[in-house]
Structure 1
Amino acid sequence: MPLRMVVVEDNALTRELIKEMIECLGHQVVAEAEDLAGAMAALQQHKPDGFTVDLSLPKEDGLTILKALREADPNVRAIIVSGNSQARIREEVLKAGA
């Protein structure tokens, strides 16, 4: 059964690339967002199976978005997308539920 996903990414080209990868795997992108407000709206409106969230966003970082999503729905699933491979960042993201 295909997953219904939301892509949270501020860069339009990267957002489209992630969307294409998700769809290539047989899943569906039900919404796209650029920030926390858009992610929360997508959660309420679409009740997705999961999110991909960019760690480095201009308004709020991905960790803040992940925490807000998990507070609104403790069962929310997320994949954090980042070019940052620092162990400390990885640990924080995993601790937050990614």
Structure 2
Amino acid sequence: MSNDASPNHMPPPADAPLLGHINIKLTDNNNELFFKVKPTTPFGKVMETFCKRQGKDLKSVRFLFEGQRIRKEDTCETLDVQDGDAIEVHQEQLGGT
């Protein structure tokens, strides 16, 4: 019997995504942060983490996916976010005439 590893029993590559997780990028045009989330994780957790790491107030920014504003209760499943998609982060603008 040989001690060689069988190709059927090789571990997945280190850069392979975890089953059930989605890699997303959040960008505010100056910075990019990458997150690995479950499809059912509420975006509120991701939004809070992004703001904490960037020193921003959650009330002062808005998050958009394909032009649609993301709510805290939205998930990758509800918005059909796929692995590798980008979320845009913009400064909230109030006022106007």
Asked which structure has the greater CA Rg, the reply is 2
Q: Which has the higher contact order (CA 8 A, sep 6+)?
A: 2
TM-score (norm. length: structure 1):
0.24
Higher strand residue share: 2
Q: Higher helix share goes to which structure?
A: 1
TM-score under structure 2 normalisation? 0.24
